[in-house]
Every structure is written in C-alpha cells, then in structure tokens.
Chains A and B, each alone.
Chain A
Amino acid sequence: EVQLVQSGAEVKKPGESLKISCKGSGYSFTSYWIGWVRQMPGKGLEWMGIIYPGDSDTRYSPSFQGQVTISADKSISTAYLQWSSLKASDTAMYYCARRPSGYDSHFDYWGQGTLVTVSS
C-alpha cells in the first residue's frame, strides 16, 4: 500500500528555522516525484515545488523560490521542506504528494498534511 506519512504539527516563532518531512512507503521512492503544496487557512492549493529523489532534480514555483528548500534522502525514503527564517505568513497546512513521471502528470497519493503555525 502506497503511503506518504508527514511529520507532526509545528508551532514556531518568527525568525526560527523549520524542516518538515514526508516519508514514502509501499513503492519505489526513487522512481516518482514528490511535490509540496501549501494551503493557507481557508484558501486554495498552491504548488511550491517538486523533487525527484532518484537524482535530486528539484523545481520551484517562482512564488516560493528562495523562500524554502526542498530536499530528499533516498536512503530513508524521505522528502523534506525547510525554512531558514519563518514568517507569520508561513502559517498554513503543507501537503506532500507523489507524482508519477510524465511531464504533464498528476499527484496520485497525498500525505495527511503538516500544520505549521508561526506566531510570536
């Protein structure tokens, strides 16, 4: 069974750093892209970026380039999303999702989400 299990909810202060995780199981982790999607409270889905764990090829949405870093450790089938200095506006639910190869492909499995709250 394909599963993406994300790390738990976080409460942070502005300026702090954070790294959240997404562990894949039940499939070949290095053969699928992993994307990250932000959902701010009461708002829609926003694509942040994507990584191919097989070779660490990474793409970012222009809206998030330079704001976050996406990485992966294929030895433990885990992808990461990290911030070096959080802002209150980073408060949101963050989802990871698996994307089969194919330039116009979809996200077929999603993690349960990680809620990040940034507040002083």
Chain B
Amino acid sequence: SYVLTQPPSVSVAPGKTARITCGGNNIGSKSVHWYQQKPGQAPVLVIYYDSDRPSGIPERFSGSNSGNTATLTISRVEAGDEADYYCQVWDSSSDLVVFGGGTKLTVL
C-alpha cells in the first residue's frame, strides 16, 4: 500500500518560515492535501490539490509537490500556527485514502 512519510516534528521561530515535507513514491503524480489540527479540535483543510488555499486560510500557507516530495510552507510563522499537520492523497492503484503520520509544528 502507498505510504506517506512526514517528519514527526518541526520547530521554527516566530516570523520565520516553516517547511513540512511529505514523502511518497512519485508523489508528484498525485494530488496532495494538507490539514491543520490544533489540540482538542477537528482537522481543518489548509491546502488542497497541491497548492490551492480554501477561503479563510491566510496567504502565508502555500504548498508545492514534485518528484517524491510535497511541501507545506508556512511563511511568517505565528504562535497560532502551532499544531499538527497531516498530508493526504488518494492512492488510485488501491482506491484508498492515505494520510501521512503527521508533523507537530512547534513555534519557539
């Protein structure tokens, strides 16, 4: 089955740029979606189809996808961005939804 690999944690200082990666075999050929989950809350979609932002999501959030790595980039990080982030794809070969293991973003 298809596997998505995320780093368990990423730390960044306020005002800097955070990059959270999501690795998978030829992931660049798939559409990648990203979710933010704050403690005690349901996940929220922050990026869909690699780089599209839902309404209400700040422009500081952006995404890219190429080769074997998709990346969620958060510019000018704020304390309120501290959360777990999950990537997700649809594996067409098995007709299954796949989530990455999640990355905890810590704002120093």
Contact = CB atoms under 8 A, between A and B. Distances in A.
B107 to A, nearest CB: 20
Contacts, number: 60
**Chain A interface helix/strand/loop/mixed:** loop
B99 A108 contact: no
Contacts of B54: 108
Interface stretch (A24-32, A72-80, A82-90, A99-107): A99-107
A95 B35 CA distance: 13
A50 B95 CA distance: 11
B43 A95 contact: yes
Interface residues of A, number: 22
Contacts of B33: 106-107
Size bracket, chain B contacts: 20 to 34
Interface in B48-63: 48-49, 54
Contacts of B92: 103-104
B89 interface: yes
B88 A106 contact: yes
Interface in B18-36: 30-31, 33, 35
Given A105-B90, A106-B48, A108-B48, A47 B99 contact: yes
Contacts of A113: 42
Interface string B77-108: 00000001010111010011111111000000
B96 A47 contact: yes
Contact of B45 (A47, A61, A107): A107
**Which 8 interchain pairs have the tightest Cβ spacing?**
A106-B33, A47-B97, A104-B31, A44-B102, A106-B48, A104-B90, A110-B42, A45-B99
21 contacts: A37-B43, A37-B99, A44-B84, A44-B86, A44-B101, A45-B37, A45-B43, A45-B88, A46-B99, A47-B97, A61-B96, A61-B97, A103-B90, A103-B92, A104-B30, A106-B48, A107-B33, A107-B43, A107-B88, A110-B44, A113-B42
